Amino acid sequence: MSDLLNAFAIAGKAFFGFQAIFFALLAVGLNVHFGYTGLLNFGQIAFAMVGGFGIAISVSQWGLPFWVGVLVGILAAVVLALLLGLPTLRLRADYLAIVTIAMSEGLRLVFRSVSATPVTGGTRGLSAFNGDFIALAPWDTQHRYHILGTTWSGGELWVALVGWVLVTLFSLLVWQLMRSPWGRVVKAIREDEDAVRALGKNVYAYKMQALVLGGVIGAFGGMVYAVNTGSAIPDQYQSANTFLAYAALILGGAARVLGPVIGSMILLFILQFADTGLRAMISNGVIPSELLSSTDVAQIRFVLVGIGLMLLLVFRPQGIFGDRREVMLDAR
Amino acid sequence: MTHAPHRARRHGRRTTTGQLLAADRPAPGRSGRRRTGRRPLVLSLLLAAFAIALATLVPGVANAAGESVTGTLQTSRSGPIEGVQVTVETAAGAEVDSAETDADGRFAIDVPGPGEYTVTLNAGDLPDAVQLGTNGDTVTVTVGPGRTQPVLFGLVDGSANSGGGTIRAVQLLVDGLRFGLLIAISAVGLSLIFGTTGLVNFAHGELVTIGAIIAWYVNVRLGVPLIPAAIIAMVGGGVVGALNELGIWRPLRRRGTGLVAALVVSIGLSLVLRYGIQIVYGGSSNPYGDYQSQRAVSYGVFTMTNRSLASIIISIVVLLLVALMLQRTRIGKAMRAVSDNRDLAASSGIDVNRVILFVWVMGGALATLGGVLLGLSDQVQWDMGFRLLLLMFAGVTLGGLGTAYGALVGSVIVGVFVQMSTLVIPDDMKYVGGLFLLIVILVIRPQGILGSRARIG
Amino acid sequence: MPAEPAAHGAHAARPDEPPAGSAPASAGTEKAAPRRLAQAALRDLPWEIGVAKPDPTVVVDGVTRTFGGLTAVSVDHLEIQRGGITGLIGPNGAGKTTLFNLLTGFDQPDTGTWSFDGRSLGKLSPHQVARLGVVRTFQLTKALSRLTVLQNMLLGAQGQRGESFLRALVPGTWRRQETENTEKAMELLQRFKLDAKSDDFAGILSGGQRKLLEMARALMSDPQVVMLDEPMAGVNPALTQSLLGHVKDLREEGMTVIFVEHDMDVVRDISDWVVVMAAGRIIAEGPPESISQNKAVVDAYLGAHHDAPLTVDDEDRVLAEAEASIAREGHPDQGVISSDRPHPRRTDR
C-alpha cells in the first residue's frame, strides 16, 4: 500500500515536473505544426536539441552569457525550420515527415560524432551551463523542499516555475494567434491548401511561419530540459521523444490550445506511475522476474505509448476530451 | 526524455566496451569487426614507419657526434618519396637548416644542441596521391643530448584501411554496392506498400529487425545452420507482413482511416515492435553462429569476405527474381497495375485486396531477408531496422515513391553514396551524407529518378 | 507536377503582390445591363476559332501542356470577352480542367503565354493570380470542413491585416476590418441562403450547399474574373436553378465568368459565348446556338467516323452520356488510405 502511495507521489511530481514541461512545450509546438497547420513534423526533438545545445555550446564552449545562449538556441531553431521547410513544404505532407525524422536522427549523429566533439562534447555532451540561470532563483537552490509528499530541490522548483510560465505564455500566444485571421488561414491550409491558394493566400509562407513558430516553441522545451538536468547529451534527444510528444498531443486533443499541455501532464503521470508501479511489483515479486526484469521497465513504457498511440488514432482521434463529430469531418 | 537515465546507462556501457561507434553507427557497414580489424592495420603501418625511422637513427648515431633529427618519408603504395624539402626550426622560430629527402625518402638534419625543434615538410613537394596525415606538415620534437631524434610525419595514401594493393574508393564502392542492394531488398516492400495503399509504413524497419532476430534465434539458440534459418525467417517475415495487413491495415482501410492517421498508427506500431523486441531480445548485439571467422579475400583492387560476396549475389538474384515476377507473372502485373492506378485496376477486375495482401507478404519476406544479410555483415541488434529505415526512405524517395524499380535504383545509389561519402566525411557521420542526398533530391527532383510528374487537378 | 525546379525558388523569392492589386471588380466597368453589352459585342463576330473579341480580358497564346507523351492542352489563341459568360465544354479528357489549372497558376505549361488585362500571368503562383482578381472554384468542391461557414467566407477576403503573423498578435489592428468583412460575408451568405448555417462547420453542408459556399467565398475577394469548374456537378436539380441565377448575377455585377459544364441546357441558358475543346485543342467557338450545328463538335463527341447529321435530341443524349461518365469519374475518395494517391506531389503552384 505504501508502495502505491509512493508511486502516486512520484507520479504526481512527474505531473508538474520539468519532463511534463518539456513534453508540453514539444507538444504545443507540434500542435501548431500538426494540429492547426497539418504539417507532419516527426523531427520535433531536433528543435529541442538545437535549443538545448544552443545554450550549452554558447555558455560552456564560447563563454557567452546565458541569455545570449537562449538567443542562439532560438536562432538555431529558426534556421533548422527554414532548412527543413525550404525543400519540403511545397511537397506532399509525407515528404516533410520523412525529411524531418531523417534530419532529427542525422543531427543527433552529427552532434555525437567524434569530429563534433570539440563543439558538442560528443557522446558525453556538455554540462555546467545553467549556473547563471539557477542563481536567479529567488530562494535557496541548495535546500530541498517537501511539497505534498514529493521532494524538490530549489533549482528544480525554479526551473519548473519558469517552465510553466513559458508553457502559459506560449499557450496564450497560440490562443491569440488561432483566433486571429492568421490562425484562420493556417487552419484552412490544414483542410485544403489548394483552396487557400485559390483565395490568394501564400500558403508556402504561412506553412513556413507555422513551422518556425512550432520549432521555436520546441526549442524552448529543449532548453528547459537542458537547464534542469544541467547537461546536454546528444543521446538524450532520441527520435522516440517526438512520438511521445505526439502521443501527448493526441491524448489531450490536437488543435486545442490546452490539449497538448493537459496531454503531457497526463502522459507523464501515467508513464511515471506505470514505471514506479511496475518496478515495485517486480521487486515485491508480484511480477515474476523471469517474466519481466526491472531493466525492461523503461522499454515497457514505449510499448505502452505505442499501443496507446495506435488505439487513440483508431478509436478516439479527437483525444480524450475532444468532440468526435469534429474529427469525423476531417476528410484526410 | 523519460528514459534518459536508461539511455545514459546503456550509453556508458557502450563506451566502456569500446563499441560506441559501431553500436550507434547508423549504417553500420560491417561495423564492429572491420573497425577493430582496421585499427591494428593502421597501427601496424604506423609502427612500421616508426621502425624505419628508428633504423635510420642507427647510422645517425654512428656518424654524428652531435644531435640531429632524421626521418623517412614513405607510404605503403608510393614507396620512398624523394625530393621533399624538410626544414628544422628552433622553438623560437629561427631556421636551423633544411634538406631534401634522398632516393630512399630519408632526411637527416643536424641541430645545434639538445632542445625543442619544429620540423616542417613542404607539402607541395609530395606526390598527388600522398596526403598529410593527422600530424599535419609540422612535427615538434624534443632532442635529447647526443641523440638522433626520429621524426614521424604519418603520411596517408588512402590505402591504410584496406591494406595491400586495394584502392580505397573501389573498396568503398563494392561495400556500398553490397549495402545498397541490401537496402533495396528491404525497401522494395516499403515502396510497393506505398504504391498500392498510399501508406508510408514507418514500421517497415521492424520487419527487417524481426527477420534478423528470428534467424538469430533459429541459428544460435536452436543450432540450425544459417541458410535454413534465413529461409525460416523469411517465412516468418511473410507471416508478419500478412498479419500486418489482415490485422491492422485492411480493417483500417475499411474504416476509412485517413492517410495521416494511418501514418501515425504505423509509428505507434513501430514503437511497440521496436521496444517489444528490445524487451525480448535485449539491448546487446550478437553475431550469427556461422560464417563469422572469414578472412577477406583479395580481388586486386579490393578485398571482400566470402559472406559479403554471397550477400551481393543473393541480393542480385533475389532482386532479379522480383523484377521477373513484376514483369512476367499475373500477380506481378497486377501489383504494378494497382500501384499505378488503384481504381482503374479495381474496375478492370483485379482483386485489389488480394494484391495488397501479396505485396505485404512479399515485402515482409524481402525485408526479413534484408535483415538477415544486415545481421550477417553487422550484428543483430534490436534497433537495426529502424536505423536502416531512414536509408530506405532515402532510397525509395530517390527512386520515386511507389515505384518498384525506383526503390531498387534509389537504394543502390544511397548505399554507394553513404559508403563513398566516407572518402570526404568522417566515418561516424556517413549516414548524414544519405540524409543530405535525400534533401538535395527533394529540391531538384521531388518525384524521384523514376517517378513521373503527377497530374494536377 | 510542374516542370523546372529552378522556378520554384524564383516563386518563393518573388515578393507577394500588394493586396491593393485586387481592386473592386465593378470599378470602371459599365454597370448598366452588361448582359446585353456582352451579347451585343459578340453578336457580329465570325464563328471562328481564335477570333478576336472587342474587349478581351483574358488572352491565351500558344499554350501547350503535355503529360508524358500525352498532349493535355494545346491552345493556339483564345480571347475571353470582358463582362460575359463564357462556357467551356468538351468531352471527357478534353483538357478543360487542365486549362483552368494553367490559367490560374496551379500548373505550368510547357510553352505559351497568357495574360489578364494585358498583364502576363506566366510564372505566377496561384495566390498571385488570385490576388490579381482571377479566382476559381474546383470540380471536387473544396469546402474547408472544420472551419465554420462564416470562417470559410472570411478567408476569401483580400488584404486582411490580421493575416500577417505579427499584426495577428495585436487584435486592435485588425478587429475593425474583421467586423466589416463579417458584415460583407453575412450579406453574401444571405444572398446565397446560407446565413442560417453561418456557425456550422462547412463539413456538414450538402454537396449543393458546398458549391454555393465555394462560389460565395470566391466572391468575398471581389474578383474580376470568376472561373467555375463544373459548378452544377453533383448538385440536386432544385439547387441548380438557384446556382444558375447566381452565375447570371455575377455577370450583372460586371464580372467575367468562365465555366466548365457538361449540361448543354445549362450552357445554352446562360452562356454568351461557348468554347468547345476536344483532345486538348479548341475545336469550335461561337454563340451557344452555333454549337449544336458545328460538325467538328459532333465529331468530337461521337468520333469522326459518325457522318450522319445529328438531331438536337441525339446530341443531348450524347452529352448526357458524357456527363454521366464524368460524374462516375469524379470519385471523391482521395486521401483515404485505400485510395490511389496520384495527387499532386508538388502542389504549390
pLDDT digit string, tens, across residues B322-353: 999 988 888 888 888 888 777 777 777 788 89
Question: Rounded to whole angstroms, how far apart are CA atoms A203 and A195?
Answer: 10
pLDDT value, residue B14: 35
C130–A191 CB contact, under 8 Å: no
Closest-CA residue of B relative to C141 is B457
Instruction: Find the distance separating the first CA and the last CA of chain B, reported in whole Å.
Output: 43
Which of A179, A194, A324 should be substituted to probe chain C, the one whose Cβ sees the most C Cβ atoms within 10 Å?
A194
Rounded to the nearest angstrom, the minimum Cα separation between A194 and chain C is 7
Residues B149 and B197 in one domain: no
Question: Rounded to whole angstroms, how far apart are CA atoms A169 and A154?
Answer: 23
**CB nearest C107 (choices: B257, B343, B457):** B457
Q: What is the mean pLDDT of residues A286-305?
A: 79
**How many domains does chain B fold into?**
2
Rounded to the nearest angstrom, the minimum Cα separation between B431 and chain C is 26
Residues B261 and B317 in one domain: yes
Q: Which residue has the higher pLDDT, C143 or B36?
A: C143
**Spatial contact of C106 and C73, defined as CB atoms under 8 Å apart:** no
The pLDDT of residue A137 is above 90: no
- By DSSP bridging, strand A231-232 and strand A126-127 are antiparallel
Cα dihedral B44→B46→B47→B48 (10° resolution): 90
Residues C164 and C133 in one domain: no
**CB nearest A298 (choices: B6, B248, B397):** B6
A109–B431 CB contact, under 8 Å: yes
B1–A113 CB contact, under 8 Å: no
Nearest CA among B231, B235, B220 for reference residue B291: B220
Strand partners, B140: B118
pLDDT value, residue C86: 92
Question: Rounded to whole angstroms, how far apart are CA atoms A198 and A186?
Answer: 14
The kind and range of the H/E element at C75 are strand C70-81
- Residue C252 covered by a domain: yes
pLDDT value, residue B259: 79
Q: What is the mean pLDDT of chain B?
A: 77
Asked if the C-beta of A175 comes within 8 angstroms of chain C's C-beta atoms, the answer is no
- Residue C259 covered by a domain: yes
Residues B82 and B149 in one domain: yes
Closest-CA residue of A relative to B440 is A87
Q: Which of residues 256-295 of B touch A (CB under 8 A)?
A: 257-261, 263-265, 267-276, 278-279
- Residue C16 covered by a domain: no
Question: Rounded to whole angstroms, how far apart are CA atoms A235 and A232?
Answer: 9
Q: What is the mean pLDDT of residues A39-64?
A: 94
Dump pLDDT digits (tens) for B274-329. 999 998 888 888 888 877 777 777 787 888 888 889 999 999 999 999 999 988 88
pLDDT value, residue B166: 66
The pLDDT of residue A332 is above 50: no
Give the CA diameter of chain C: 70
Residues in chain B within 8 Å Cβ distance of C345: 446-447, 454
- Residue B15 covered by a domain: no
Question: Rounded to whole angstroms, how far apart are CA atoms C232 and C88?
Answer: 13
Work out the percent of chain A whose per-residue pLDDT is above 70.
95
pLDDT value, residue B199: 87
Cα dihedral B430→B435→B436→B439 (10° resolution): 170
Residues C192 and C229 in one domain: no
Q: Which residue has the higher pLDDT, B54 or A214?
A: A214
pLDDT value, residue A160: 92
Dump pLDDT digits (tens) for B361-397. 999 999 999 999 999 888 898 989 988 888 898 888 8
Q: Which domain covers residue B256, as residue numbers?
A: 167-444
pLDDT value, residue B92: 72
- Residue C173 covered by a domain: yes
- Residue C107 covered by a domain: yes
Closest-CA residue of B relative to C93 is B457
Question: Rounded to whole angstroms, how far apart are CA atoms B140 and B443?
Answer: 48
The pLDDT of residue B252 is above 80: yes
Residues B306 and B252 in one domain: yes
Neighbours of A323 (CB within 10 A): 11
A302–B271 CB contact, under 8 Å: yes
Give the single-character DSSP code of C320. Answer: H
Residues C118 and C236 in one domain: yes
Which of C135, C331, C347, C349 should be substituted to probe chain A, the one whose Cβ sees the most A Cβ atoms within 10 Å?
C347
Work out the percent of chain B whose per-residue pLDDT is above 90.
23
The C-alpha cell of B434 is what? 544519405
Residues B243 and B148 in one domain: no
Among B140, B160, B180, the domain-final residue is B160
pLDDT value, residue B169: 85
Residues B155 and B191 in one domain: no
Q: Which of the given ranges, A188-202, A314-328, B120-134, has the highest pLDDT on average?
A: A188-202
Residues C159 and C307 in one domain: no
Work out the percent of chain C whose per-residue pLDDT is above 90.
28
pLDDT value, residue B77: 62
Going along B25-179, which residue ranges are E strands?
Answer: 67-72, 74-75, 79-80, 85-90, 95-100, 106-111, 115-121, 138-143, 148-150
The pLDDT of residue C106 is above 80: yes
**Spatial contact of B199 and B396, defined as CB atoms under 8 Å apart:** no
**CB nearest A102 (choices: B261, B276, B393):** B393
- Residue B181 covered by a domain: yes
Nearest CA among A210, A176, A275 for reference residue A40: A210
pLDDT-derived band at C325, boundaries 50, 70, 90: low
The pLDDT of residue B28 is above 60: no
Q: What is the mean pLDDT of residues B140-161?
A: 69
The pLDDT of residue B253 is above 50: yes
Closest-CA residue of C relative to A189 is C144
Residues C105 and C125 in one domain: yes
Among B160, B176, B210, the domain-final residue is B160
Please provide the size of chain A in residues: 332
A309–B271 CB contact, under 8 Å: yes
What's the CATH code of the domain at B80? 2.60.40.10
pLDDT value, residue B59: 36
- Residue C102 covered by a domain: yes
The sign one gets for the Cα dihedral A84, A85, A87, A92 is positive
The C-alpha cell of C79 is what? 480571347
The pLDDT of residue A206 is above 70: yes
- Residue C13 covered by a domain: no
Residue type for B157, please?
D
Q: Which of residues 179-198 of B touch C (CB under 8 A)?
A: 197-198
- Residue B23 covered by a domain: no
Residues B367 and B236 in one domain: yes
pLDDT value, residue B321: 93
Work out the percent of chain B whose per-residue pLDDT is above 70.
78
Question: Rounded to whole angstroms, how far apart are CA atoms B255 and B424?
Answer: 50
pLDDT-derived band at B43, boundaries 50, 70, 90: very low
Chains near B (3 or more Cβ pairs under 8 Å): A, C
Going along chain A, which residue ranges are E strands?
Answer: 126-127, 144-147, 150-153, 231-232
What's the CATH code of the domain at B329? 1.10.3470
pLDDT value, residue B45: 46
**CB nearest A305 (choices: B26, B261, B271):** B271
Q: Which domain covers residue C157, as residue numbers?
A: 144-204
Residues B358 and B260 in one domain: yes
pLDDT value, residue C317: 61
The pLDDT of residue A256 is above 70: yes
pLDDT value, residue C36: 62
Residue type for C186, please?
M
- Would the ipTM clear 0.95, i.e. be above it? no
Residues B370 and B408 in one domain: yes
The pLDDT of residue B160 is above 80: no
- Within 13 Å and on the Cβ side, how many CA atoms surround A91? 25
Give the single-character DSSP code of B218. Answer: I
The pLDDT of residue B165 is above 70: no
Dump pLDDT digits (tens) for A63-122. 999 999 999 999 999 999 999 998 888 887 778 888 898 889 889 989 988 888 888 888
Residues B214 and B104 in one domain: no
Count residue pairs from A and C with Cβ separation < 8 A.
140
Asked if the C-beta of B1 comes within 8 angstroms of chain C's C-beta atoms, the answer is no
Residues C175 and C292 in one domain: no
Residues C175 and C293 in one domain: no
Residues B219 and B290 in one domain: yes
Residues C37 and C106 in one domain: yes
Q: What is the mean pLDDT of chain C?
A: 77
What's the CATH code of the domain at C284? 3.40.50.300
pLDDT value, residue C216: 92
Domains of chain A: 2-328 (1.10.3470)
- Residue C159 covered by a domain: yes
Question: Rounded to whole angstroms, how far apart are CA atoms C58 and C73?
Answer: 17
Neighbours of C40 (CB within 10 A): 12
- Residue B406 covered by a domain: yes
- Alpha carbon of B169 to those of B177, B433, C121: distances in Å? 12, 16, 50
- Residue B2 covered by a domain: no
pLDDT-derived band at A201, boundaries 50, 70, 90: very high
Question: Rounded to whole angstroms, how far apart are CA atoms B302 and C223?
Answer: 68
Residues C36 and C131 in one domain: yes
pLDDT-derived band at A195, boundaries 50, 70, 90: very high
- Residue B440 covered by a domain: yes
Work out the percent of chain A whose per-residue pLDDT is above 90.
45
Residues C134 and C244 in one domain: yes
Among B115, B135, B160, the domain-final residue is B160
Residues C92 and C231 in one domain: yes
DSSP string of B155-213, one letter each residue: -B-S-TTT-TT--HHHHHHHHHHHHHHHHHHHHHHHHHHHHHH----TTHHHHHHHHHH
pLDDT value, residue B157: 62
B447–C5 CB contact, under 8 Å: no
C337–B259 CB contact, under 8 Å: yes
pLDDT value, residue B10: 38
pLDDT value, residue A283: 81
Please provide the size of chain B in residues: 457
pLDDT value, residue C9: 38
Residues C97 and C231 in one domain: yes
The pLDDT of residue B270 is above 80: yes
- Alpha carbon of C300 to those of B81, C290, C320: distances in Å? 81, 15, 14
Dump pLDDT digits (tens) for C204-231. 888 888 888 999 999 999 999 999 988 8
Dump pLDDT digits (tens) for C61-72. 999 988 767 788
Q: Which residue has the higher pLDDT, B380 or B437?
A: B380
Residues B176 and B119 in one domain: no
Nearest CA among B168, B164, B174, B139 for reference residue B153: B139
Q: Which residue has the higher pLDDT, B356 or B98?
A: B356
